[in-house]
Amino acid sequence: MIVLAFLAQTLRIAIPYLFAASGGVISERSGLIGLGLEGYMLGGAFCGAVASYYSGSPWVGLLGAVAGGAALALLYALTAIRFRADQVVVGIAVNLLVTGATRFFLRLAFHSSANSPRVPGFGAEQSGTGLASLARNPLIWLGILAIAVMAWLLYRTPYGLRVRAAGEHPEAALSVGVPVDRVRYVAAALSGMLAALGGAYLALDQHQFSAEMTAGRGFIALAATIFGRWDPFRAALACLFFAAAETLQIQLQGAQVIPSQFVEMIPYALTIVALAGVVGRAVPPAALGKATE
């Protein structure tokens, strides 16, 4: 029983990571740095909550989230591709933009700078901790599906082949007529939509949007992308591992075995270890962060 509760909790925590990390993988494999994931998630959470609130349907909420995430990601892609802006700078600016804009519009729409009112969400009113109540949330299944679909897209379809080529050697892709910029725009939009679904999951699970509710989850997803070496399945494993560590920390909170701050550090520390190559270097796509000529 404890094991099941542990698994359920882990999965619940992992779902937003799975969405955002699958977005991180497609974005970075195409050559666009995934620094904006946090912003797409937060934007998705906000748009999801607003759309759900006004329509009364969480499904419309999801549509709103997807639209919001795609719009933000396309803004990022437009500046990075068309205007050759530095991807690191714009990625960080997008996060800043979304943090400010969600609070601004929160006050405009709901006259509160902290929370939205209660919005329709998925599943039971008081979401239980069991697997059964979890399984009623369609986003759980969508999150798991996102990884599988991403792997299929990346490795089995013409578009995926083009993404891998665009991120590794865009000039070669261009020389055989692959429209690299278009491939990247699509990858950006997909990453924005997926990350936004992760954010929407948070808002719809808690039945409200609260300011800065993603709290760095986009960066954990980016960490999982890198720690998973830009592969959907390995990134998913990284997400589950990070989520399991968090679950452990929550369940041990009473016991005070390890200070919670040290558990918080795990994903970040592991990512640094992976990049430093203590056990087999993580080598990013060669053209990551570079605009085409």
Partner 1 sequence: MRRTVEEALLPALVALLVAAVVGDVLILSFGQSPGSVYRLLIDGTWGNAYGFGQVLYKTTTLTFTGLAVAIGLRAGLFNIGAESQLAAGGFLAGLAGLMLPMGLPALATLPIYIVAAAAGGAIVGGIPGVLKARFGAHEVITTIMLNFIVLALLNYLTAAHLKVEGTLHTAEIHAGALPRLSSMIGAFRGSAANVVLFLALITAAAVAWFLFRTRRGFELRATGLQPAAAEYGGVNVGGVWWRTMALSGALAGIGGLNYVLGYKHYYEESFASGAGFLGIAVAIVGRNNPIGVVVAAFVFATMSQGGLAVNAVVPKQIVDVLQAVVIIAVAASVPEVRRLARARSAA
Partner 2 sequence: MSSVESSASAPIAIRLSDIYKSFGPVNANRGASIQVARGEIHALVGENGAGKSTLMRILGGMYAPDAGKMEVNGRDVTGWTTAEAIDAGVGMVHQHFMLVPTLTVAENMMLGREPTSRGQLDSARVAREVTELSKRTGLAVHPQRKVADLSVGEAQRVEILKTLYRGAKILILDEPTAVLSPPEIDELWRVLRGMRERGETIVLITHKLDEVMEISDTITVMRHGQTIAQLTTTETTPAAIAKAMVGRDVQLATHYGETSSRSLELPSASLLEVRDLVVDGPRRASAVDGVGFSIAPGEILGIAGVEGNGQTELLEALAGLRPVRSGSTSVAGRDITALSVKSRGDAGLSHIPEDRHARGLVLDYTIAENLILGQQHRFTTGVRLDNDAIIDNARRQIDAFDIRPAVPSVPARALSGGNQQKIVIAREMSRGFQVLLAAQPTRGVDVGAIEFIHARLRETRNAGKAILLVSADLAEVLALSDRIAVMYGGKFAAVLNRRDASEEVLGPYMTGAEHAA
Q: State which of residues 11, 94, 98, 173 lies at the interface with partner 2 (CB under 8 A).
A: 173
Pick from 285, 236, 286, 291: nearest CA to 29: 285
Q: Which stretch binds partner 2 (CB under 8 A): 3-11, 96-104, 153-161, 217-225?
A: 153-161
Please report where in the chains the tokens 């666009």 appear, as a residue: 32
Comparison of 173 and 274: residue with beta carbon closer to partner 2: 173
Please report where in the chains the tokens 């933000």 appear, as a residue: 72
Is 231 one of the binding residues for partner 2 (CB under 8 A)? no
Q: Tell me if residue 286 falls in helix, strand or coil.
A: coil
Q: Applying CB under 8 A, what is the total number of residues that bind partner 1?
A: 44
Q: State which of residues 54, 152, 155, 262 lies at the interface with partner 1 (CB under 8 A).
A: 262
Q: State which of residues 20, 42, 66, 165 lies at the interface with partner 2 (CB under 8 A).
A: 165
Q: In the chain, what is the straight-line distance between the N-terminal and C-terminal CA atoms, in Å? A: 57
Min separation Cβ 37 and partner 1, Å = 11
Q: State which of residues 103, 169, 229, 290 lies at the interface with partner 2 (CB under 8 A).
A: 169
The site partner of 269 among partner 1, partner 2, none (C-beta below 5 to 8 Å per kind) is partner 1
Is 45 one of the binding residues for partner 2 (CB under 8 A)? no
Residue 173: which residues within 8 A CB-CB, separation 6 or more?
162, 165, 166, 180, 183
CA distances in angstroms from 247 to 6, 127, 134, 136, 157, listed in the order given = 7, 16, 15, 21, 36
Q: How far is CA 157 from the centre of its chain?
A: 22
210 DSSP β-pair partners: 115
Min separation Cβ 178 and partner 1, Å = 23
Min separation Cβ 180 and partner 2, Å = 10
CB burial of residue 216 (10 Å; 0-12, 13-18, 19+): middle
CA distances in angstroms from 270 to 13, 18, 225, 231, listed in the order given = 18, 17, 12, 16
d(CA 213, CA 210): 5
Q: State which of residues 99, 115, 127, 292 lies at the interface with partner 1 (CB under 8 A).
A: 99
Min separation Cβ 90 and partner 1, Å = 5
Comparison of 177 and 280: residue with beta carbon closer to partner 2: 177
* HSE (side-chain half, CA atoms, 13 Å) at 141: 8
Q: State which of residues 4, 257, 269, 286 lies at the interface with partner 1 (CB under 8 A).
A: 269
Question: Where on the chain is the footprint of partner 1 (CB under 8 A)?
Answer: 33, 35, 75, 79, 83-86, 88-90, 92-94, 96-97, 99-101, 103-104, 107-108, 113, 216, 219, 222-223, 226, 259, 261-262, 264-265, 268-269, 271-272, 275-277, 281, 284, 291
Residues that bind partner 2 (CB under 8 A): 156-158, 160-162, 164-165, 168-169, 171-179, 286
